[in-house]
A and B are shown apart, each in its own frame.
Chain A
Amino acid sequence: AAGVIQSPRHLIKEKRETATLKCYPIPRHDTVYWYQQGPGQDPQFLISFYEKMQSDKGSIPDRFSAQQFSDYHSELNMSSLELGDSALYFCASSLQRRGADTQYFGPGTRLTVL
């Protein structure tokens, strides 16, 4: 079965650079979520999209932005990178069912900021 695809799997950037992370959800899923997970921490919700429209925002810095395209893939754009942005970034997708959301996570992108 098709799973959530994320690219790249690993990314190394310098401080103040920009980074773009991509997510390809499971076909026919209508919702995409982005999470950040620092070392030893629990996943932190960043932002979500439902049917290509931004739905909710969590603890996403103003330096980050995201969008979902007509083919349902999503991109997380990160600018003015800081050392503290080093983390695993997960994308998840789901098919919305009120109150019973089951999210399928991708393998993640490990971002290292030097």
Chain B
Amino acid sequence: LAKTTQPISMDSYEGQEVNITCSHNNIATNDYITWYQQFPSQGPRFIIQGYKTKVTNEVASLFIPADRKSSTLSLPRVSLSDTAVYYCLVGLNTGGFKTIFGAGTRLFVKA
């Protein structure tokens, strides 16, 4: 299983761009990188998924360097409602269906 490492917490202000980097040094060749957002007492919510280079959707961008040993979730112009925990998960290529949530990043957006 690819272990992931993220910052424990981050602070930001409304309107700023926030970049959260995740390290996954032992990512496997076929693994994808997926980011989830979780609000208190709610289930994690899919944000974005990518394999290499850059992926962008309506809420975020995901940057993955060529070696794929890390990835950066970019949230443009955050608002107070983006205060949440963000998890980086690396897809498994072991033939099983087991998911390990590492310690996520607690983002706090201030006015």
Binding site for B on A (CB under 8 A): 4, 31, 33, 35, 42-45, 48-50, 55-58, 88, 90, 92, 96, 98-108, 110
Besides A42-B103, A44-B101, 19 more A-B contacts (Cβ < 8 Å) are A4-B43, A31-B97, A33-B99, A35-B99, A35-B101, A43-B101, A45-B99, A45-B100, A48-B96, A55-B96, A55-B98, A56-B96, A58-B98, A92-B44, A99-B93, A101-B34, A102-B34, A106-B43, A107-B42
Q: Which residues of chain A are near B30, meaning CB under 8 Å?
A: 98-99
Q: Which of B45, B99, B104 contacts A101 (CB 8 A)?
A: B99
* Contact between chains at A99 and B91 (CB < 8 Å): yes
Q: Which residues of chain A are near B103, meaning CB under 8 Å?
A: 42
- Number of CB contacts from chain A to chain B under 8 A: 78
Residue B31 is within 8 A (CB to CB) of chain A in the complex: yes
Residue B15 is within 8 A (CB to CB) of chain A in the complex: no
Q: Which residues of chain B are near A57, meaning CB under 8 Å?
A: 98
Binding site for A on B (CB under 8 A): 28, 30-32, 34, 36, 38, 41-46, 49, 51, 85, 87, 91-93, 96-104
Q: Which residues of chain B are near A45, meaning CB under 8 Å?
A: 98-101
18 interchain pairs, CB-CB under 8 A? A4-B43, A33-B99, A42-B103, A45-B98, A45-B99, A45-B101, A57-B98, A90-B44, A92-B43, A98-B30, A98-B93, A99-B30, A101-B91, A101-B97, A102-B46, A106-B43, A107-B42, A108-B41
Q: Which residues of chain A are near B87, meaning CB under 8 Å?
A: 42
If A48-B98, A98-B30, A103-B99 touch, whether A43 touches B44 (CB-CB below 8 Å) is yes
Distance of A42 from chain B, by nearest CB (Å): 5
Give A100 to B32 CA distance when docked, in angstroms.
5
Give A106 to B30 CA distance when docked, in angstroms.
27
